[in-house]
Chains A and B, each alone.
Chain A
Amino acid sequence: MDLLSNLQLAFSVIFQPGNLFFCFIGVLIGTLIGVLPGIGPVATISLLLPSTFQITPVSAIIMLAGIYYGAMYGGSTTSILVNIPGEAASVVTCLDGYQMARQGRAGPALGIAAFGSFIAGTLAVIIIMLIAPPLARFALRFGPPEYFTLMFLGLTVLTYLASGSMFKALMMACVGIFLGTIGTDTISGLERFTYRSYTLMDGVGLVPVIMGLFGISEVLLNIEQPMKREIFKTRLSNLFPTLRDWRDSILAIIRGTFIGFFLGILPGGGAVIASFGAYAVEKRISKHPERFGTGAIEGVASPEAANNAASQGAFIPLLTLGIPANVVMAILLGALMIHGIKPGPLLMKQHPDLFWGVIGSMYIGNVMLLILNLPLIGIWVKILKIPYPILFPLILLFCLIGSYSLNNNIVEVMIMILFGIVGYLMKKFEYEGAPLILAFVLSPLLENALRQSLIMSHGSFAIFLTRPISLVFFIVSIFLLVSPLMPGLKKRPKGGDLG
């Protein structure tokens, strides 16, 4: 049994004390930053990236992955208790979760969010184990044209699902591709846009750009408006949902898991879209849609299950194809490459301990999160009370240290501050950062695949259309690109549109 031996490997890796420790640290930090609004998994993972250079790649990825799915747990706590989503993926949880809290049912809401996430996380691990190996075998047939069209598809999906204007998202993808070409060209060795700067020769660093766009800019936005937080005073004695709560939500949790998982796999998808999608589906199929928004427990259970499943499903394209499905995966891709590991279809063969260890860690991580979350909710609530004027200097300090310590280079700190200002302006003028970052990370891969494809075909673009897998990716991308222009088609789903 292949599956059993893989499972055995997974558990033998995760139960090494070092890995167990870093898994715990990861989910703990993840929950913490998930609880704190204004600092998300993206900034945290980039901050801690340099510090993982000292540990083994397996431990490093286990910890960073833990931060990601841990943040999904933590984010729900603030949504329910304060009506402030700690994470973008928990925005929908506010709708019914906060209403439940106002009716004195904060306990069951938090409980079902934690149990729902746990069930979803567990199911997701099982699905990953079943579909990742065949997918990796399939991906072995991919050549440069397939990779190019797949990455192109990923970028199109992300712009298609962008919450604002698709037009603007496409522009951001172009800017990202341009940023990715700065530095020394790997094929010809020529410098591009470097102006003889030593820092730029290696290209613009991913960490400073991300910390600027997502960390610094968030602080700048927050200090511009006074931030008031009122914590709902409620007794948290009964965290366990009643039998009736379970009856209402168990199917919602399972549906949410599947919706979330498959939206998570989709390049450009991710936890945010998954939670919105799951909520919309629950509302549509419910016999009492009018209950949604007034404290329906399904409205908490399903999106919470979905965002957890999505955050784990997102690992599939990264670990099997080497293509990040979202920004967090893009940073993890960077992390793997810094550790000298090239993600892709061969990863499972060359580094089975890494692949199965990370998957095993998600399972153990979910158990740890359940233990951490239910009894410790009181502590997380206390942390929420840290006032922002005390919090934001510390967030800035973390960003400064993070961008400096990567290469001990002050220029990278300057780049980060610069991108902080750019990110602030982008938010104000309604441009999204996610397409920019994904395109930025994919740019070198995209360029190599494109140039190799054209060398293979002696300069003919037909190579993308004559190979069946690549043709499918291409047709889907073109369909997504032109569909908003076609009047007969339904409006594309938007992040803020709950249907």
Chain B
Amino acid sequence: MKKNDRMSSLVWLLLALYICTESMRLPWGAWRDPGPGFLPLGSGIILGILSGIAYLKASMSKSPEAKGSWYSKERWKNLVVVVVALFAYAIFLEILGFLLATFLLLIFLFRGIEPQKWVVSIGGSALASFISYAVFELWLKTQLPKGILGF
């Protein structure tokens, strides 16, 4: 775990640095009347100290290096595919409209990771899109995006 802990504590250290520099620009206030910069700066400093110590602890630790990688070498592509699909959905949702975008996303997810039969994929996607549309748009009156096609 040494290497993983070193890597992750560095990331948190960077975040702490960012928090501190950004909160310096906010009014810090006085002890008797702390301003908006007070708490962010405080949390940033403590996070910085903690992640600094965590980095040193991981570097000096004598425990043997963990074997194997933290991600799956065979299946990491699944992650990328799903994350890209989700972002694409978010980007195109308001253009395509809820029904179409959802239908396409579901077909993609049913087929893309562990391919289901076409019948299952198309049927399932259509069914799930319509049911969620009925429940959220028609019953609960959530306003789902209509898109350029008007549905």
Interface residues of chain A, those whose CB is within 8 Å of chain B, are 50-51, 54, 167-168, 170-171, 174-175, 177-178, 181, 185, 187-188, 190, 192-193, 216, 219-220, 223-226, 389-390, 392-394, 396-398, 400-401, 404-405, 408, 410, 413-414, 417, 420-421, 424-425, 428-431, 443, 446-447, 450-451, 454-455, 458-460
CB-CB under 8 A from A450, the residues of chain B are 34, 38-39
Across the A-B interface, the 10 shortest Cβ-Cβ residue pairs: A459-B31, A459-B32, A393-B109, A185-B36, A174-B47, A405-B142, A389-B114, A429-B8, A177-B43, A413-B90
Q: A414 with B36: in contact, given A51-B140, A224-B76, A396-B82 (CB under 8 Å)?
A: no
The docked-state distance in angstroms from the alpha carbon of A195 to that of B94 is 24
Is B110 within 8 A of A187, CB to CB?
no
Does B124 make an interface contact (CB < 8 A)?
yes
Some 17 contacts from A to B, beta carbons below 8 A apart, are A168-B54, A174-B43, A178-B40, A187-B36, A225-B72, A390-B116, A396-B82, A400-B90, A401-B132, A401-B136, A408-B143, A414-B90, A420-B83, A428-B70, A428-B71, A451-B38, A454-B32
Give the dominant DSSP class at B's interface. helix
CB-CB under 8 A from A219, the residues of chain B are 82
Most B CB contacts (10 A, CB to CB) among A178, A397, A401, A424 go to: A178
Is B36 within 8 A of A430, CB to CB?
no
Apart from the given pairs A192-B40, A454-B33, 15 other A-B contacts in the complex at a CB distance below 8 Å = A171-B47, A171-B54, A175-B12, A181-B36, A181-B40, A188-B35, A224-B78, A396-B86, A397-B102, A397-B105, A408-B145, A414-B87, A417-B86, A430-B4, A459-B30
Is B93 within 8 A of A410, CB to CB?
yes
Is B82 within 8 A of A188, CB to CB?
no
Chain B, residues 23-54, CB within 8 Å of chain A (1/0): the string is 10011001111111111100110110011011
- Option from B79, B93, B109, B142 in Cβ contact (under 8 Å) with A50: B142
The docked-state distance in angstroms from the alpha carbon of A396 to that of B30 is 46
The docked-state distance in angstroms from the alpha carbon of A185 to that of B54 is 31
The docked-state distance in angstroms from the alpha carbon of A50 to that of B51 is 36
Q: How far is the CB of A222 from chain B (nearest CB, A)?
A: 10
Residue of B at shortest CB range from A429?
Answer: B8
Does B138 make an interface contact (CB < 8 A)?
no
Is B70 within 8 A of A170, CB to CB?
no
The docked-state distance in angstroms from the alpha carbon of A450 to that of B142 is 38
Is B110 within 8 A of A393, CB to CB?
yes
Chain B, residues 103-132, CB within 8 Å of chain A (1/0): the string is 001100110011010001000100010001
Q: How far is the CB of B43 from chain A (nearest CB, A)?
A: 4
- Option from B31, B70, B76 in Cβ contact (under 8 Å) with A454: B31
Residue of B at shortest CB range from A216?
Answer: B86
Residue of B at shortest CB range from A388?
Answer: B114
CB-CB under 8 A from A389, the residues of chain B are 110, 113-114, 116
Residue of B at shortest CB range from A406?
Answer: B142
Is B43 within 8 A of A220, CB to CB?
no
Q: A400 with B89: in contact, given A443-B39, A455-B33 (CB under 8 Å)?
A: yes
Q: How far is the CB of B70 from chain A (nearest CB, A)?
A: 5
Is B72 within 8 A of A224, CB to CB?
yes
Q: A181 with B39: in contact, given A168-B54, A389-B113, A450-B34 (CB under 8 Å)?
A: yes
Q: How far is the CB of B151 from chain A (nearest CB, A)?
A: 16
Residue of A at shortest CB range from B15?
Answer: A175
CB-CB under 8 A from A178, the residues of chain B are 15, 19, 40, 43-44, 47
CB-CB under 8 A from B110, the residues of chain A are 389-390, 393
CB-CB under 8 A from A170, the residues of chain B are 46, 50
